[in-house]
Each structure stands twice: as C-alpha cells, then as structure tokens.
Amino acid sequence: MLDLKKIREEYISKLNSKLNLLQVNQLKADLLGKNGLISNQFKKIGSIKGSERKKYSSELNNIKDELLDLINSKINEIEISDINEKLQKEKVDITLPERPFLRGKIHPVSQTIDEISSIFSEIGFSVEEGPDVENEYNNFTALNTPEHHPARDMHDTFYLDEKKQKLLRTHTSPVQIRTMLRDKPPFKIIAPGRTYRSDSDQTHAPMFHQVEGLYIDKDINMGHLKGCLNYFIKEFFEVNKIKMRFRPSHFPFTEPSAEVDIGYKIKDGKIIIGEGDKWLEILGCGMVHPNVLKNVKVDPEKFQGYAFGIGIDRLAMLKYGINDLRAFFECDYRWLNHFGFDPLDVPTNYRGLSR
C-alpha cells in the first residue's frame, strides 16, 4: 500500500510539471510499460492473501485509472498548445500588398507568323513544318541546286558534318520537297520557320525566319502568283493600295524567278507602306522549275505552279517599326515588354508552329 501511495504522489507531481510529449510518453512507459511500476504491482496481486487482495487490487486499479487520465489529458494539452504555437508563428499577414502579376508577351516574330498564317489560311493554304537540321538533298539537290552549283556558295551554309551531308537549312524551301514527296498534287501550302546563314549585320542575323509558299496544280501561272502576293501584302500591312515591283532574278528552283520589293516612305520617323519612292526587298519567288517537280515524282507536263519565300523578320520590322533585326534575338526582357504582344490577342485560327 505504501508503495502505491508513494508512486501515485511522485507521478502526479511529475505530471504536473512542464513537460513535452516525449517526456510524458516516457513517464507513461515508466508506469504502464511491460516492466512499469504499476504493471509490476499487478503481478504482485497473486501473492497477497485473503481480504487484503481485493482491497489492494481495487486501490491499484483506481490509481492506474487516475494516472492514465492525467497522462491522457497532459498529452491532449501539449498537442493543443503545439497547434496554437504553430498558428501563432505561421499566421498570414493579410495586410501585405499582393505580388506583382507578370504576364508574358508574344514575341513580334511569333505574332507575325501568326498573322501571316491566318492570312494565307483564309485563301486555302495549309501550314506545313520541317526540321531545322536538314539533309543536303532536300536543301539543295532536290531543289535543282546540284553540288558545285554557285548558288550553294551564296548561301553561307552552316554544315554539321565534314561530308556536308547535314546542315542547318538555309531556307524554308526544303519543306516544299518534303511535302511533295509525302503527298500527291495539288499542293497549296505555306511553311513558316527558322532558317540559318553565316551572316550578321543590322539587317541580317545568322538565324532568321522565312515563310515558304507553294501552289502546284493544273494551269497555275505567274498571274496567280502576282495576285496572291499582292493580296497578302495588302492584308498584312492593312492597306488598300500597295506599291510592289517584280525584279527579274535567279533561283535554281524557279524559272522564271523574281525578287519582290515593296514601296515605302518614312514620314515623321514612321514607315508608311504603299507610298513613296523607297524600295525594300521582302521576298523571292517564281514558277517552280520542272526539274524540281521531276525530283519529287510530279509530272511537270500535268502540274505546275509557283513558290515564294518571304523574309518574316523584315516584314515584322516594317510593320512594327523595329529598326535593328538583331534586337529580335537578344532576349532583352525590356525590349520584349515594349514590342511584344498581349497573348490574348493571338488569332484563334492559327494552327502552325509551336512556340
């Protein structure tokens, strides 16, 4: 009996001091664990005689219940105070101003590609894509530009291997080849994308953008080409009249070939398209050479048509008043913020290049 009272008093006072969860659990184990003080008392019961035994066991049970209650309420108390402490520490300061909300901008080149694609898709062109890393056949040979042809040197090509089999495409024209090898005529496609030449100044960057156009069907002639380009330029610059001139030129893959300039003037520091006496070259074009059609197994006696390649960056510079091409590719966030476009204004009928 004495033992029991001593244990009870000692542990009540221990449990009433300031404890953490670990300490309370330790006290619980000391008392009620396998070899705990209380557990051991239960083992004694068998050796107690007569009426003493009943009294002892009821006393023991009472003390056990009392201590267990105390332990449980202590655990409860500690858990609640831990939660409160956490709430205190982690409280959200609702008086703080919100963080600035930054919305990205669409790069002017992406915007221009979107606009070009939607204009051409309205007149029946679908959008094709090809890889930036091309083989020499698609980029040159199939386009009627055999090895040692001087036009190859004019392209300042980035070759990727010593045998000059792989290269960074110098124009989007190989997409013509890929499309015609894959499908059957007629073809009416545009192919926007990145192109590469070893060249860099205010109006040339080693990586730039073109959009290829190809229309092959029965009875397509140069009048269709002129009409199509005239329509495109007017739509793109949002003007009713346009000054446009076709200069005879040479591309191995078209015959006849032409380069197209558009007329503009600068008024109060702004570019005005369709007036004035300045000319800017924006594209190359022509009637697809019969050899190209033969290379892709299209019968030039039955099918013919035109192709063009437009410099996208130049068009973007003209339309949006950007005077240094290199700024396009410097990734200056402030520049992009100024010249970029709100993502919510992108035309919804665009289904071409992924950005």
- Positive or negative, the Cα torsion across 33, 39, 43, 44? positive
As a whole number of angstroms, the distance between CA 217 and CA 227 comes to 16
Window 216-255: residues binding ligand PHE (CB under 6 A) = 251, 254
Residue 110 CB, shortest distance to ligand PHE, in Å, is 20
DSSP reduced 3-state for 48: coil
284 lines the binding site for ligand PHE (CB under 6 A): yes
Structure tokens at 207: 């990586």
Q: Are strands 126-127 and 187-196 parallel, antiparallel or unpaired?
A: parallel
- Can you say whether the dihedral through the CA atoms of 147, 153, 158, 161 is positive or negative? positive
| 3-state DSSP assignment of residue 126 | strand
The yes or no reply on residue 173 touching ligand PHE (CB under 6 A) is yes
Q: Which is nearer to ligand PHE, 154 or 266 (CB)?
A: 154
Q: What is the dihedral of CA 273, 278, 282, 286, to 10 degrees?
A: 110
Piece of 40-48, 221-229, 230-238, 307-315 that binds ligand PHE (CB under 6 A): 307-315
Q: Are 252 and 151 in contact (CB under 8 A)?
A: yes
Q: Which is nearer to ligand PHE, 185 or 284 (CB)?
A: 284
Q: Is 140 in the site for ligand PHE (CB under 6 A)?
A: no
**Residue 209 binds ligand PHE, judged by CB under 6 A:** no
If one asks whether residue 178 binds ligand PHE (CB under 6 A), the answer comes out as no
d(CA 236, CA 261): 15
Which letter does DSSP use for residue 28 in this model?
A: H
Contacts with ligand PHE by CB under 6 A: the residue count is: 10
Closest approach, Cβ 260 to ligand PHE, in A, equals 10
Residue with smaller CB distance to ligand PHE, 228 or 336 = 228
Q: Out of 215, 308, 328, 339, point to the residue binding ligand PHE (CB under 6 A).
A: 308
Overall size of the chain counted in residues: 355
When the beta carbons of 120 and 308 are compared against ligand PHE, the nearer one is: 308
Q: Does 309 contact ligand PHE by CB under 6 A?
A: yes
The reply on whether position 120 binds ligand PHE by CB under 6 A is no
Least separation in angstroms between residue 276's CB and ligand PHE is 25
CA separation (Å) from 259 to 176, 244, 307?
19, 10, 12
Interface ranges with ligand PHE (CB under 6 A) = 171, 173, 251, 254, 284-286, 307-309
